Structure 1
């Protein structure tokens, strides 16, 4: 299998570099789209009620499991989108992310504060896009 070639452009001309994310990630291959993951365990129970760090770890564990199911890893992720009910949770989210991604070549990302998620006990949701090599045929 060929390796996916991803190009990271931390700061295009005239754009400030991001802290903990890359402004542009370019790749060719098969696109993998992961639905937003929340802090639910395999039984559908909320993990870490009221605890953004525990919820962040569960969310990234769920993302890792979804990536594995697609034959991918966090090294293949090109974009993360964070939906948080309080922007103050970002340090906990970043800590969980940094435990999974290459912090020297992080994916592109967007963080948005939202009024609520589908369950009021949930504090964040994270979706991901990854790129895998073309299938060997």
Structure 2
């Protein structure tokens, strides 16, 4: 039985080596995108705005998917972690701007905290290429 090749998609952040992870991993026709936050070169994008953070995260995830040969159209599942569930509509509005027609299975869960208290949202995704 032939082993399926593994493709690690790296974004170049120090966290990847420090923690030992990839932004995304593709094996066969499955792409898993790691928990992604609204950070860019150490800066947090969209301070105090779950909507802006979600938009930035989904753009960042789209780039990782493209590097893996996938697209948002291939996403079958998203998992959204938010630090304040009362702001679900802002997160949901941004998510809908990307996935309104795709409609992946989705979860939104409130968590106590993310790695930086200024981060309001973290998202993971699973994509399957057809």
* TM-score, normalization by structure 2: 0.74
Where does structure 2 lack aligned partners over 5 or more consecutive residues?
A: 1-27
Where does structure 1 lack aligned partners over 5 or more consecutive residues?
A: 1-28
Which structure's residues are more often helix, by fraction? 2
Instruction: Give the number of the structure with larger relative contact order, counting CA–CA contacts within 8 Å between residues 6 or more apart.
Output: 1
Distance 1:93 1:110 in 2: 12
Tell me the alpha carbon deviations over residues 27-60 of structure 1, each in whole angstroms, 9 at most, x when there is no partner.
xx6110000110112x131011111111111111
Shift of the alpha carbon at 1:104?
Answer: 4.0
Shift of the alpha carbon at 1:65?
Answer: 1.1
Distance 1:125 1:97 in 2: 12
Shift of the alpha carbon at 1:89?
Answer: 2.1
1:107 equivalent to 2:104? Answer yes
Alignment: residue pair count: 103
1:7 corresponds in structure 2 to none
Kindly report the root-mean-square deviation, in angstroms, between the aligned alpha carbons of the 2 structures. Answer: 1.3
* Structure 1 stretches of at least 4 aligned residues deviating more than 4 Å after TM superposition: none
Greater gyration radius: 1
* TM-score, normalization by structure 1: 0.70
